[in-house]
Amino acid sequence: MHSSYDISAGNLALYAAKQTSGIVVNIGFHCTSIVPILHGKVMRKVGVEVVGMGGLKLTGFLRERMQQQNMNFESLYTVRSLKENLCYVAADYEAELSKDTRASFQVASEGWFTLSRERFQTGEILFQPRMAGVTMMGLHQAVAHCMDHCQSAAITADESWFKTVVLAGGSACLPGLAERLEKELHGLVCPSVANGIRVLPPPYGEKSAWFGAKIISNLSTFPGSWCMTKKQFRPKVRRNLMVTIFN
């Protein structure tokens, strides 16, 4: 390997959305991270929020609801397929409860499954974790908390950098999630911050990070100053090793 470039999935998702600054909400397998990024640099001093709610929790919640309805299925793959093809996030949860939301989907080798309230209740646990028996802040509250930290840090006079929120991860592709999060944020943050907030869904679905990497690799300046060569890497390793030994 001639050279390498170390970059987070959050940065790649941001680049895929054609942004260099913003807050990336990465809904991972086990947890969700809320990462503020300014001009391509993760603002760790501002604070990275982590919520213990990820795609696995959503799938597990849907599985429990299906079991309560006496639905028979062979594996978690079936549940995940139904989550990806039938579930969504309601704009207004209470209003959605009074609607007929039944829909069906055929899973290969298992047949047809029909879901009703489970379709929007699954994604709702991101905003109301207590529905899944979890005591923690909701996704909207965690993002608002991150925005408050960004504003308080006063890193730059232009506060617009943290008003763009980019969603990333497979479960972030749930229809309606971006719109619901944007709506909730407007009701949580102060008016000066609320003005200009926008939440962008994953531009390339669950493959957004891959497309972000593709965008970087196609830049005329890449690898150039982006990457560290083997020649640059070796002295750095030796220096770090010496510091470790003498400390």
Domains of the chain in sequence order:
3-53+136-217 (3.30.420.40), 55-129 (3.90.640.10)
pLDDT given at position 49? 87
- Cα distances (Å, whole numbers) of residue 101 to 14, 40, 85, 107: 33, 41, 14, 19
pLDDT of the residue at 243: 43
173 close to 206: Cβ distance less than 8 angstroms: yes
Which residues, in sequence order, are bridge partners of residue 38?
41
Residue 90 CA neighbour count, 13 Å, CB half: 20
Specify the pLDDT at position 44: 87
Comparing CA positions, the residue from 149, 134, 127 lying closest to residue 27 is 127
| CA–CA distance, 25 with 54 (Å, rounded to integer) | 11
162 by Cβ neighbours in 10 Å (0-12 / 13-18 / 19+) ranks as buried
Provide the pLDDT for residue 244: 40
- In angstroms, the CA 119 to CA 97 distance is 11
Sequence-distant (≥ 6) Cβ neighbours of residue 45 within 8 angstroms:
153
Question: How remote is the C-alpha of 54 from its chain's centroid?
Answer: 9
Beta-carbon count within 10 A of 159 CB: 16
pLDDT of residue 232: 62
**Sites in the chain below the pLDDT cut of 50:** 237, 240-247
Give every CB contact of residue 19 below 8 A, 6+ residues apart in sequence. 164, 166, 200
Q: What is the pLDDT of residue 128?
A: 97
Gap between the Cα atoms of 239 and 49, Å rounded: 32
pLDDT in tens, 39-72: 989 998 888 888 999 999 999 999 999 999 999 9
What does pTM read for this prediction?
A: 0.86
The one-letter amino acid code at 107 reads: V
Q: Give residue-wise pLDDT tens across range 144-181.
A: 999 999 999 888 888 899 999 999 999 999 999 999 99
pLDDT at 237: 46
Q: How many residues does the chain have?
A: 247
* Cα–Cα distance, 37 to 166 (Å, whole number): 11
